[in-house]
Amino acid sequence: MNQREIEQYLIDFQKREEVPLIERSLKVPLSQKKINVLIGPRRAGKTYYMFQIMQKRMTSGSKKEEVVYLNFESPRLLEVQFKDIKEVVHIHQRLFPTTKKKVLFFDEPQNIKFWENAVRELYDDGFSIFISGSSSKLLSKEIATSLRGRSLSYLILPFSFRELLKQRGIEISSRISSDEKTKILSFLDEYLEFGGFPEVVLEKNKELKMKIIENYFDVVVYKDIVERHGIKDAALVRWLIRSVVSSYGNELSIHKLYLTLKSQGRKITKDELYVYASILGDSFFVFYLPKFSWSVRKKEPVNKVYLCDVGFSRLIEVTKDIGKKMENTVYLELVRNMKPMTEIFFWKNVQKEEVDFVVKEGTKVTQLVQVCQDVDDPVTMNREIKALLKASRELKCKNLSVITQNYKEERYAEWLELKEKIHFVPLWEWLLRQE
Quick check: 318 pLDDT over 60? Answer: no
Nearest CA to 270 among 288, 255, 253, 280? 255
- The burial class, CB within 10 Å (0-12 / 13-18 / 19+), for 109 is buried
- The chain-wide mean pLDDT, for the chain, equals 90
The residue with greater pLDDT, 390 or 116, is 390
User: Helix 322-336 vs helix 178-194: angle between axes, to the nearest 10 degrees?
Assistant: 100
Nearest CA to 164 among 192, 191, 185? 191
Alpha-carbon dihedral angle through residues 277, 283, 286, 290, given to the nearest 10 degrees: 70
CA angle, corner 396, sides to 393 and 397, nearest 5?
A: 100
**Mean pLDDT, residues 423-427 taken together:** 97
β 151-155/286-290 pair status? unpaired
β 364-371/354-361 pair status? antiparallel
| pLDDT at residue number 296 | 66
**Cβ of 353: how many Cβ atoms within 10 Å?**
16
Distance CA 313, CA 307 (A): 8
Q: How confident is the model at residue 114 (pLDDT cuts 50, 70, 90)?
A: confident
Q: What pairs with residue 36 in β-bridges?
A: 130, 152
The residue with greater pLDDT, 410 or 433, is 410
Distance CA 381, CA 378 (A): 5
Quick check: 302 pLDDT over 80? Answer: no
- Model pTM score: 0.93
φ/ψ region of 402 (left if φ > 0, alpha if ψ in -120 to 50, else beta) reads: beta
Q: What pairs with residue 304 in β-bridges?
A: 251, 289
Q: What's CA 52's distance to the chain center, in Å?
A: 19
* Phi then psi dihedrals of residue 169, to 5 deg: 90, 15
| pLDDT at residue number 238 | 87
Distance CA 134, CA 39 (A): 6
| pLDDT at residue number 358 | 98
Q: How far is CA 76 from CA 5, 71, 232, 300, in A?
A: 6, 9, 26, 46
- Residue range 331-385, pLDDT digits in tens: 999 999 998 899 999 999 999 999 999 999 999 999 999 999 988 889 999 999 9
Measured in Å, how far apart are the chain's first and last C-alpha atoms?
45
Distance CA 308, CA 44 (A): 9
| pLDDT at residue number 233 | 85
The residue with greater pLDDT, 99 or 297, is 99
**Mean pLDDT, residues 393-401 taken together:** 96
- The burial class, CB within 10 Å (0-12 / 13-18 / 19+), for 265 is exposed
Distance CA 27, CA 358 (A): 25
**Mean pLDDT, residues 194-206 taken together:** 96
Q: How confident is the model at residue 157 (pLDDT cuts 50, 70, 90)?
A: very high
Q: How confident is the model at residue 198 (pLDDT cuts 50, 70, 90)?
A: very high
Distance CA 367, CA 336 (A): 15
| pLDDT at residue number 195 | 97
